[in-house]
Amino acid sequence: MPPRQPPPPPGLVIVDKDRGPTSHDVVGRLRRIMGTRKVGHAGTLDPMATGVLVIGIERATKLLGHLSLDTKAYTATVRLGAATDTDDAEGTPVGAPADTSRIDDEAVRAAMAPLTGDIEQVPSAVSAVKIDGKRAYQRVRDGETVEIPARPVTVSAFDLHALRRSEDGFLDLDVVVECSSGTYVRALARDLGAALGVGGHLTALRRTRVGPFTLAHARTVEQLAESPGLSLDLAGAVATAFPRRDLGVDDAAAVRYGKSLPAAGIGGTYGVFGPDGAALALMADRGEAARPVVVLAPAG
């Protein structure tokens, strides 16, 4: 038997996902490329979407549930003049195409304004939202009629960058969206089309940022297959995503054993680093004590 390869170092791989594969498909490819089963993802992307997908490797998978990925940014194309049952180009058209000849950029921007800020949004019926413990998309596939309640989201930017008319009479809008986690850009396309009375759906979606991670960090799966490697090692990932607390030798040893420390006065979860710069744990203040949220470098 050939000698077993050592596991790769822990860290994050920021993938620039292609259109077509699911997020789970990308994880499968990365397991083969990186040579480990300990691979997970945060911030799922639909198959039709491209762009930033955060992948954890080895011990960095422990970070995924704690990463602050609460803001996201996208570029997208919205087609006005037709609605679909999935609110995107993967779905079946609903109703007849509508005339968009009367709609100009001023009308589009006016309709975008109420969809910006703190809003109540009804997620797309074909979505991963759970209804009584079952995903909405599975209920739709099972032939059920799905009604999802509106929920609060924040759309901090919904900007029109270009407007062009297609040869078949539709109106295509290139837009930029910055929003909170849980916002469906497909639903923005649907609601914009409804507000203009012509229907609308999403034809392209590219995520340019999730939390602090951008396309500047990202590589395609093909690039990773040719040259495997991390985007950020464990220390770099923690330093990028969390506030930082540096420790001396004695406190660092205590944290490795999962012990508490005096509170640091830092809000939320923060990264704790040893004298050598190694990421030891994520911690959070609880009253006068700082308690480990997850230990990344246990005593060994």
User: What positions carry a catalytic annotation?
Assistant: 46
Quick one: tokens of 288? 């006068």
* Upper half-sphere CA count for residue 150 (Cβ side, 13 Å): 9
Q: Which residues contact 279 (CB under 8 A, 6 or more apart)?
A: 234, 235, 237, 238, 239, 271, 272, 273, 296, 297
For 110-236, list the strands marked E by DSSP.
117-121, 130-131, 134-135, 151-165, 171-180, 200-210, 213-214, 232-233
Q: How far is it, in rounded angstroms, from Cα 236 to Cα 10?
A: 11
Tell me if 187 sits within 8 A of 128, measured CB to CB: no
Quick one: tokens of 193? 């089309």
Distances (CA, A) of 72 to 141, 180, 257: 28, 6, 35
Tell me if 16 sits within 8 A of 208, measured CB to CB: no
Is residue 186 helix, strand or coil?
Answer: helix
Distances (CA, A) of 196 to 118, 131, 162, 191: 20, 30, 17, 9
